[in-house]
């Protein structure tokens, strides 16, 4: 288990250092902003939806290592997915970081997103990890509003 934990930590460090999809997306038809006042994380999400599929996605912002890595991994995992599939991932991810280990099931089913399974032990960090997902939801709903974890 400690090997796995170390691997997860490396995934988070890597995505914090070299965030994927860290760019303003020209041609985005959905955007949303997210803010986690507890930690100071800010994210702007750019989504290009075509025929109900997330064709491209990018983000910008500033925040802690967890929020940055979470945004990087979130954008990587939902690219090419339908809105319904992205919604399913949101629920699976949310469950993984907010419920007891036994109830949450096997985090490895979530692929690289499993790197955040340890976050549930640090409740203050849960909002950092879920901020990009809440922001994605707001963007997909097309509200164009600011979301806050508060
Ligand atoms: Zn944070």
Q: In angstroms, rounded to a whole number, what is the distance separating the alpha carbons of residues 49 and 69?
A: 23
CATH fold for the domain made of 2-142: Sufe protein. Chain: A (3.90.1010)
Instruction: Give the domain ranges of the chain.
Output: 2-142
- 38 within 8 A of 63, measured Cβ to Cβ: no
Cα 66 to middle of ligand 1, angstroms: 6
Cα 147 to middle of ligand 1, angstroms: 15
Cα 51 to middle of ligand 1, angstroms: 33
Cα 58 to middle of ligand 1, angstroms: 19
Q: In angstroms, rounded to a whole number, what is the distance separating the alpha carbons of residues 93 and 80?
A: 18
Cα 72 to middle of ligand 1, angstroms: 14
pLDDT in tens, 47-86: 999 999 999 999 999 999 999 999 999 999 999 999 999 9
Pairing state of beta strands 30-36 and 146-148? parallel
- 74 within 8 A of 136, measured Cβ to Cβ: yes
- 127 within 8 A of 148, measured Cβ to Cβ: no
- 51 within 8 A of 141, measured Cβ to Cβ: no
pLDDT in tens, 28-40: 999 999 999 999 9
Cα 134 to middle of ligand 1, angstroms: 14
pTM, full prediction: 0.91
């Amino acid at each position: 288990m400690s090997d796995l934990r170390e691997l997860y930590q490396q995934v988070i460090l890597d995505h914090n250092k070299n965030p994927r999809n860290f760019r303003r997306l020209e041609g985005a038809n959905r955007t949303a902003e997210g803010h986690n006042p507890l930690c100071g994380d800010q994210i702007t999400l750019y989504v290009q939806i075509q025929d109900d599929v997330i064709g491209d996605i990018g983000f910008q912002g500033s925040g802690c290592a967890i929020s940055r890595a979470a945004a990087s991994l979130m954008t990587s995992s939902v690219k090419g997915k339908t809105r319904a599939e992205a919604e399913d991932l949101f629920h699976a991810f949310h469950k993984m970081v907010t419920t007891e280990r036994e109830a949450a099931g096997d985090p490895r089913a979530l692929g690289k997103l499993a790197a955040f399974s340890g976050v549930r032990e640090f409740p203050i960090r849960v909002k950092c990890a879920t901020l990009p997902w809440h922001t994605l939801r707001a963007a997909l709903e097309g509200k164009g509003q600011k979301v806050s974890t508060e």
